[in-house]
């Protein structure tokens, strides 16, 4: 630690000596509402040429209303603006020692503008910070009727497959957070993240190289979903109605009441949704020259009810308490039919139909208590404590019937029952202390307790009696506790910024199969260093570089050895003996603003040990897929993002990611070594049409890439949206079409000397029409009809 402290101070002194530039000016201040004195987040502050009035550069305010940026210009005016408030122009100001401190700027409400509910900044955009990228979620047309999973698909560097698995730069080792904290909603195995709706999201933070302040979980980085919390005074709200095909019918109400001391908020929703799926799978036994093929489809129907209640209590200007709670209840039914055919030497010998009827109920609740203290000596000097509790349950039963249509295979019936419970508790304490004007120290700790139980039973009906299969039935308990402490030190000057930190985490994991008494116990302690440096070459060019060490801990769905028998010849299961994987992550990013174009170009390098990868084994015509620690992975890649606004009525954004990887490892004595490449791209055009219509179209492409036993095929799809505002924006009509040409198909093959497999999944086109009405100081917002936490 002494060496780290000395090296850090050496670089701080070096960087401080480099930033001395008499012509550079730092402009800072804080923007608040004139009546309530509440800070205004995302207000725009820009400087413009005093003669031509042409904008030069600027920034937006942070959560506490503060801002700071630098410029070398000398003859300029300062403009401050935000939707619903009168713009303020400052033509006179004082320059002291190269700094312009504007102090507190108070904006008055624009009554006329509020009456018209003029909506600005509707297009989603990405903002770059020292150690993260912030994707501010606008009212993108294709987001109407969408869940958080679909919004994530619009975020640069992020991909979501048909089963809800999230990857960042091609890696699935992602730590998902909600409002900066772990949540049961982010467990990808339960797909509960789909219960967050698009209009609930304020922004998505993508942290590819997290500082030591953040939980070390997630080898490819962290994605933090920040939900909206209405802050306008008075009574505000919106009502939304959605209809769609396949079924996407819902009604939602959002209400907020703000007084001087209290901010009360609530959301109610009820709806019904259908998710159709088409599946194809093949198992080829190359030794015995046999093929088993299944073709099927199914519908998953969900009826959901949800409510959220919460309040902020401002004890005084320095102390705020927040308490919120939510409850959701879902009723699911799923029906599927799969047609099986078995060929020997290309001759059909057996065929049968397997049908499924599944019913489930899912109760979910979550509560949070938060206390924040702001110290008077500095606006960024604060203490934050939070306690979060959540629960997700599933009571599910399934009936399977096999009926032979050709051959001698006997008919039989199976039943399964699942009783799943997951409880998670997170306690977090963070302290931030700025000092010496440009330095900031952060200290904190976090304790996460995760308790999961999965009771799974499989039985076969014989003479009207259910006979339990002991090989497929068991109670699996999973308990994981993680304690972390951290410290960071940061410096931010006019041109240079540097931040270093160290995090220590202890993990205590225990799993047990109750019926067999098979235990897996792990306890390990690790250090996770991080370092970030930024350099502002000019108002239009900046550089960022960073390093962090990360961990991916196997989760319940990685460890649980039991599975769904929808297709009992094509099985996916867990591995209770998995070990964690560790990644060293390096990246360098450049950010450019040229005329009407802004873009960034980045390079990254990830080296992962004990990488977790799925492998497939084959026995008696049954393919079993499960995860193993498959050796090392060395990935190098480049990333490009751009936004171009050639006209006031049009904006184009594009995202491109390419990487090459080298895999080394073995499985059952066979080498898994290979090299490969993969890339993906996304482009979106947003156009303002005559008669007040807005139009949006986007295209996505993900390349084919090699895996340790086969390949994932490429994927191409497009979305579009059309919107019309009515009655001065009080009502918004929106049409959204996702996967226009029904080309979003996921295909995966395994090619081995003795066998091969093929799997194909598709969900098809979704069309949604919505009407939204905003009242008070609220805006018409699309309640997407997705399930709520």
pLDDT-wise least confident of 32-41, 118-127, 324-333, 490-499: 118-127
**Mean of pLDDT values over 574-579:** 90
The sign of the torsion formed by the CA atoms of 229, 230, 231, 235 equals negative
Instruction: State how far the Cα of 479 lies from the Cα of 484, in Å rounded to an integer.
Output: 17
pLDDT at 376: 82
Say how far residue 84 (Cα) sits from the centre of its chain: 30
The C-alpha R_g of the chain, in whole angstroms, comes to 28
Residue whose entry in the numeric block shows the structure tokens 């904290």: 181
Task: Map residue 559 onto helix, strand or coil.
Answer: helix
Instruction: State how far the Cα of 616 lies from the Cα of 711, in Å rounded to an integer.
Output: 13
> Considering only the top CATH level, what class is 2-116?
mainly beta
Q: Which residues pair with 231 in a beta bridge?
A: none
Give the helix ranges, DSSP H, for 375-440: none
**Mean of pLDDT values over 31-36:** 80
pLDDT at 18: 39
10 Å Cβ neighbour count for 10?
10
Q: Are 758 and 281 in contact (CB under 8 A)?
A: yes
Q: Which residues pair with 717 in a beta bridge?
A: 700
- Looking at per-residue pLDDT, the higher value among 382 and 231 belongs to 382
Backbone angles phi, psi at 346, to 5 degrees: 65, 20
**Mean of pLDDT values over 197-225:** 76
Instruction: State how far the Cα of 288 lies from the Cα of 346, in Å rounded to an integer.
Output: 11
pLDDT digits (tens, 9 = 90+) for 525-534: 999 999 999 8
Q: Residue 18 is inside which H or E element, if any? A: helix 2-18
Residue 509, CA distances (Å) to 147, 523, 531, 705 in order: 32, 6, 29, 34
Contacts (Cβ under 8 Å, ≥6 apart) of 341 = 292, 293, 294, 348, 350, 351
Q: Are 625 and 616 in contact (CB under 8 A)?
A: yes
In the structure, what pLDDT confidence band is assigned to residue 84 with cuts at 50, 70 and 90?
Answer: low
- Looking at per-residue pLDDT, the higher value among 139 and 747 belongs to 747
Tell whether the model's pLDDT for residue 20 goes beyond 50: no
Contacts 24+ apart (CB under 8 A), 571-576: 571/622, 571/623, 571/624, 571/625, 572/624, 572/625, 572/626, 573/624, 573/625, 573/626, 574/626, 574/627, 575/626, 575/627, 575/628, 576/511, 576/513, 576/518, 576/520
pLDDT at 159: 65
Q: Residue 655 is inside which H or E element, if any? A: strand 650-664
Contacts (Cβ under 8 Å, ≥6 apart) of 245 = 766, 767
Backbone angles phi, psi at 68, to 5 degrees: -165, 130
**Mean of pLDDT values over 748-764:** 95
Tell whether the model's pLDDT for residue 552 goes beyond 70: yes
In the structure, what pLDDT confidence band is assigned to residue 787 with cuts at 50, 70 and 90?
Answer: very low
Label the pairing between strands 766-775 and 234-245.
antiparallel
Q: Do domains 2-116 and 282-761 have the same CATH topology?
A: no
Half-sphere exposure of 726 (CA within 13 A, CB side): 9
Q: Exposed, middle or buried by CB within 10 Å (0-12, 13-18, 19+), for 173?
A: buried
| Range of 187-191, 402-406, 464-468 with top mean pLDDT | 402-406
Q: Are 144 and 138 in contact (CB under 8 A)?
A: no
In the structure, what pLDDT confidence band is assigned to residue 184 with cuts at 50, 70 and 90?
Answer: very low
**Mean of pLDDT values over 440-461:** 95
Peptide bond into 232 cis (omega under 30): no
Q: Which residues pair with 533 in a beta bridge?
A: 498, 545
Q: Are 190 and 390 in contact (CB under 8 A)?
A: no
pLDDT at 10: 38
Q: Which residues pair with 391 in a beta bridge?
A: 365, 423
Contacts 24+ apart (CB under 8 A), 536-541: 536/70, 536/494, 536/495, 536/496, 537/495, 538/72, 539/56, 539/57, 539/70, 539/71, 539/72, 539/73, 539/593, 540/57, 540/592, 540/593, 540/594, 541/590, 541/591, 541/592, 541/593
For the record, the structure tokens of 739 come out as: 């996967």
**Mean of pLDDT values over 110-130:** 46
Question: Domain 282-761 belongs to what topology?
Answer: Maltoporin; Chain A (2.40.170)
Instruction: State how far the Cα of 217 lies from the Cα of 552, in Å rounded to an integer.
Output: 5
Tell whether the model's pLDDT for residue 252 goes beyond 80: yes
Q: Are 220 and 611 in contact (CB under 8 A)?
A: no
pLDDT digits (tens, 9 = 90+) for 680-708: 998 888 888 888 888 989 899 999 999 99
Instruction: State how far the Cα of 210 lies from the Cα of 502, in Å rounded to an integer.
Output: 11
Q: End-to-end alpha-carbon separation of the chain, Å?
A: 42
8-state DSSP, 670: E
Tell whether the model's pLDDT for residue 221 goes beyond 80: no
Instruction: State how far the Cα of 782 lies from the Cα of 542, in Å rounded to an integer.
Output: 36
**Mean of pLDDT values over 94-113:** 77
pLDDT-wise least confident of 283-297, 370-384, 600-614: 370-384
pLDDT at 24: 67
8-state DSSP, 586: E
For the record, the structure tokens of 769 come out as: 């029409």
In the structure, what pLDDT confidence band is assigned to residue 344 with cuts at 50, 70 and 90?
Answer: very high
Instruction: State how far the Cα of 465 lies from the Cα of 484, in Å rounded to an integer.
Output: 51
Q: Are 716 and 701 in contact (CB under 8 A)?
A: yes
Instruction: State how far the Cα of 256 lies from the Cα of 240, in Å rounded to an integer.
Output: 15
**Mean of pLDDT values over 238-249:** 90
Q: Where are the domains of the chain?
A: 2-116, 282-761
pLDDT-wise least confident of 81-90, 427-436, 576-585, 780-789: 780-789
- Looking at per-residue pLDDT, the higher value among 592 and 111 belongs to 592
For the record, the structure tokens of 220 come out as: 């490819």
Whole-number mean pLDDT of the chain? 83
Tell whether the model's pLDDT for residue 13 goes beyond 90: no
Q: Are 87 and 78 in contact (CB under 8 A)?
A: no
pLDDT at 312: 85
- Looking at per-residue pLDDT, the higher value among 106 and 503 belongs to 503
Q: Exposed, middle or buried by CB within 10 Å (0-12, 13-18, 19+), for 146?
A: buried
In the structure, what pLDDT confidence band is assigned to residue 317 with cuts at 50, 70 and 90?
Answer: confident
Instruction: State how far the Cα of 724 lies from the Cα of 775, in Å rounded to an integer.
Output: 18
- Looking at per-residue pLDDT, the higher value among 643 and 188 belongs to 643
Q: Exposed, middle or buried by CB within 10 Å (0-12, 13-18, 19+), for 373?
A: middle
pLDDT at 636: 96
């Amino acid at each position: 630690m002494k060496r780290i402290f000395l090296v850090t101070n050496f670089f701080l002194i070096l960087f401080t000596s480099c930033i001395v530039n008499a012509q550079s000016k730092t402009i800072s201040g804080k923007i608040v509402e004139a009546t309530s004195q509440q800070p205004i987040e995302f207000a725009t502050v820009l400087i413009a040429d005093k003669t031509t009035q042409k904008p030069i550069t600027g920034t937006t305010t942070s959560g506490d209303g503060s801002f700071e940026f630098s410029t070398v210009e000398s003859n300029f005016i300062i403009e401050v603006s935000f939707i619903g408030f009168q713009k303020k122009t400052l033509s006179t100001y004082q320059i002291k020692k190269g700094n312009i401190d504007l102090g507190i700027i108070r904006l008055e409400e624009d009554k006329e503008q509020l009456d018209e509910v003029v909506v600005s900044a509707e297009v989603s955009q990405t903002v770059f910070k020292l150690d993260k990228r912030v994707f501010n979620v606008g009212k993108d047309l294709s987001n109407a009727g969408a869940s958080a999973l679909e919004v994530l698909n619009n975020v640069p560097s992020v991909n979501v497959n048909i089963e809800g698995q999230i990857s960042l730069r091609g890696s699935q080792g992602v730590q998902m957070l909600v409002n900066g904290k772990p949540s049961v909603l982010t467990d990808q195995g339960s797909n509960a993240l789909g219960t967050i709706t698009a209009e609930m999201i304020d922004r998505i933070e993508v942290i590819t190289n997290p500082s030591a302040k953040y939980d070390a979980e997630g080898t490819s980085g962290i994605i933090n979903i920040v939900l909206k919390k209405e802050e306008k005074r008075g009574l505000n709200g919106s009502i939304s109605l959605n209809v769609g095909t396949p079924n996407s019918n819902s009604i939602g109400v959002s209400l907020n009441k703000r007084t001087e001391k209290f901010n009360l908020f609530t959301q109610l929703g009820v709806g019904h949704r259908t998710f159709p799926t088409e599946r194809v799978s093949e198992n080829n036994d190359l030794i015995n020259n046999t093929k088993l093929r299944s073709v099927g489809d199914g519908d998953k129907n969900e009826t959901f009810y949800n409510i959220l209640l919460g309040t902020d209590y401002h004890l005084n200007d320095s102390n705020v308490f927040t308490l919120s709670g939510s409850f959701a209840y879902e009723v699911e039914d799923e029906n599927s039919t799969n047609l099986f055919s078995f060929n020997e030497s290309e001759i059909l010998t057996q065929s049968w139909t397997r049908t499924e009827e599944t019913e489930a109920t899912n109760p979910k609740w979550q509560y949070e208590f938060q206390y924040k203290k702001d110290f008077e000596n500095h606006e960024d000097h604060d203490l934050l404590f939070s306690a979060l509790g959540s629960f997700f349950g599933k009571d599910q039963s399934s009936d399977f019937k096999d009926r032979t249509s050709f051959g001698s295979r006997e008919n039989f019936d199976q039943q399964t029952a699942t009783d799943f419970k997951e409880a998670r508790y997170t306690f977090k304490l963070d302290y931030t202390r700025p000092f010496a004007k440009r330095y900031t120290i952060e200290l904190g700790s976090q304790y996460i307790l995760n308790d999961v139980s999965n009771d799974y039973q499989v039985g076969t009906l014989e003479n009207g009696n259910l006979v339990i299969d002991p090989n497929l039935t068991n109670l699996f308990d999973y308990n994981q506790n993680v304690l972390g402490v951290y410290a960071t030190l940061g410096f931010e000057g006019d041109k240079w910024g540097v931040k270093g930190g160290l995090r220590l985490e202890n993990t205590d994991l225990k799993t047990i199969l109750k019926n067999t008494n098979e235990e897996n116990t792990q306890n390990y302690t690790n250090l996770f260093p991080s370092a970030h440096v930024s350099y502002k070459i000019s108002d239009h060019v900046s550089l960022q570089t960073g390093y962090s060490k990360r961990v991916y801990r196997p989760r319940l769905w990685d460890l649980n050895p039991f599975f769904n028998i929808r297709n009992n010849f094509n099985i996916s299961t867990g591995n209770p003996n998995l070990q964690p994987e560790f990644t060293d992550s390096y990246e360098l990013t450049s950010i450019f603003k040229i005329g009407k174009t802004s873009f960034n170009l980045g390079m990254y390098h990830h080296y992962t040990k004990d990488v977790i990868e799925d492998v497939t084994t084959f026995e008696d015509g049954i393919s079993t897929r499960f995860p193993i620690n498959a050796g090392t992975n060395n990935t190098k890649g480049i990333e490009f993002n751009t936004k171009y606004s050639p006209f006031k009525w049009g904006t184009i954004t594009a995202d491109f990611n390419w990487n090459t990887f080298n895999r080394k490892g073995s499985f059952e004595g066979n080498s898994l070594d290979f090299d490969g490449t993969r890339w993906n791209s996304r482009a979106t055009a947003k156009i303002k049409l005559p008669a007040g219509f807005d139009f949006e179209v986007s295209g996505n492409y993900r390349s084919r890439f090699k895996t340790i036993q086969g390949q994932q095929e490429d994927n191409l799809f497009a979305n579009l949206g059309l919107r019309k505002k009515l009655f001065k924006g009080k009502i918004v009509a929106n049409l959204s079409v996702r996967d226009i040409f029904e080309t979003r198909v996921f295909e995966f093959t395994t090619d081995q000397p003795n066998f091969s497999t093929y799997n194909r999944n598709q969900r098809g086109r979704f069309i949604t029409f919505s009407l939204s009405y905003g009242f008070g100081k609220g805006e018409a917002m699309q309640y997407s009809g997705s399930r709520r936490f």
